[in-house]
Amino acid sequence: MGTISLKYSMVPLFVLFMSQSIISQITKRDSLAERPARSAFESSFIINNPSNVLFPKKTLEIQIKHRFGLINTGGNDLFGIWAPSNIRLGATFAVSDRFTIGFGTTRFNRLQDFSLKAGIFKQTRSNSIPVSVSYYGNFTVDARPKENFTSDQDRFSFFNQLIITKRFGPNLSLQLAPSVSHYNLVDIKNRNDKIAVGIGGRYKISLQTSILIDANLPFTHHLNSVEFNTDPEPGLAIGVEFSTAGHAFQIFIGNYSGIVPQQDTMFNQNNFFNGDILFGFNITRAYRL
């Protein structure tokens, strides 16, 4: 009887141990589910529009963006490759996991842009937070000779964008990004501010290869019910991205040649569906310091 009693007295201890183990596993699964989902995109840009990608603290990212000339000029320029092209060289630095600052210089109009990107909240694996939301903004200086401007303030432009992204699974990610562009100096037939909505998407077709689509839709405006002749054309680009852990290469066709987002949003006159398209590529490389 003593042996039997001892054996059965161990049952409550065994049940207690198993229950604690099960609770621990459930708690662990729940905590994993509440962790941030993997980033919706690989690069800090979806062709033209900034993405929600924020790198870990003390990460330096080098950016190279190149836009060839239009392919429909009719000249002997090998589909725009020999034509005058635009290029931007830039770098960003992650001050923290949720805050990045950057600088870039662009060939057209000698634009010098100072930017920041901040994470507001992130999508969770459980979808208790269904989307990620970030902010991107820049302050840009036109560094052309002073005879192009009445005052130094005429050189300045600004861009503010709210980036809303969702990762629907391992392959599909989408982005919606309303923005406001402002120029201190514009033509008399234009306005200083322009509202637009960016739409972007990525679909992975292999571990390191994705199809990208990027659109930017500026809102047109009217004066005395007459549409402005300088209303910008919407932007559209389609491309392929090849990515690794710290590197992304995008090659695409599109109708934006300005590179700096407010310049494209305010002044683009290339119509994608009329054949005003060009080849371009983006290269980004991230280094953990």
User: What are the CA-CA distances from residue 230 to residues 110, 156, 179, 272, 280 (Å)?
Assistant: 22, 20, 19, 16, 25
User: Is residue 249 in a domain?
Assistant: yes
**Tokens 């790198």 found at:** 55
- Is residue 267 pLDDT above 80, yes or no? yes
CB 74 within 8 A of CB 276: no
* Within-domain flag for 29: no
How far apart are the C-alpha atoms of 113 and 92, rounded to whole Å?
11
In a domain, residue 273? The reply is yes
| Domain range for 258 | 34-288
pLDDT tens per residue, range 122-174: 999 999 999 999 999 999 999 999 999 999 999 999 999 999 999 999 999 99
Answer whether residue 11 is part of any domain: no
13: in domain? no
Domain membership flag for residue 242: yes
Phi and psi at residue 20, in whole multiples of 5°? -65, -40
The pLDDT score that the predictor gives to residue 220 is: 77
Average pLDDT, the chain: 88
Has residue 74 been placed in a domain? yes
Distance CA 258, CA 255 (A): 9
Strands (E), the chain: 45-46, 49-50, 59-70, 86-96, 99-106, 111-121, 132-142, 156-167, 172-183, 193-204, 209-218, 222-223, 226-227, 235-243, 247-254, 278-288
Burial 215-225 (b: 16+ CB within 10 A, else e): bbbbeeeeeee
In a domain, 173, yes or no: yes
Question: Domain total for the chain?
Answer: 1
pLDDT value for 191: 87
**Cβ-count burial 103-135 (b if 16+ within 10 Å, e if not):** ebebebbebbbebebbbeebbeeeeeeebbbbb
Whichever domain contains 240, its CATH number is: 2.40.160.40
Q: What is the pTM of this model?
A: 0.85
Q: What is the mean pLDDT of residues 48-52?
A: 96
Between the alpha carbon of residue 187 and those of residues 14, 151, 192, 227, 289, the distances in Å are 81, 15, 9, 15, 44
pLDDT of residue 73: 80
Place 75 in a pLDDT band, splitting at 50, 70 and 90.
confident
Is residue 233's pLDDT more than 50?
yes
The whole-angstrom separation of Cα 232 and Cα 193 is 12
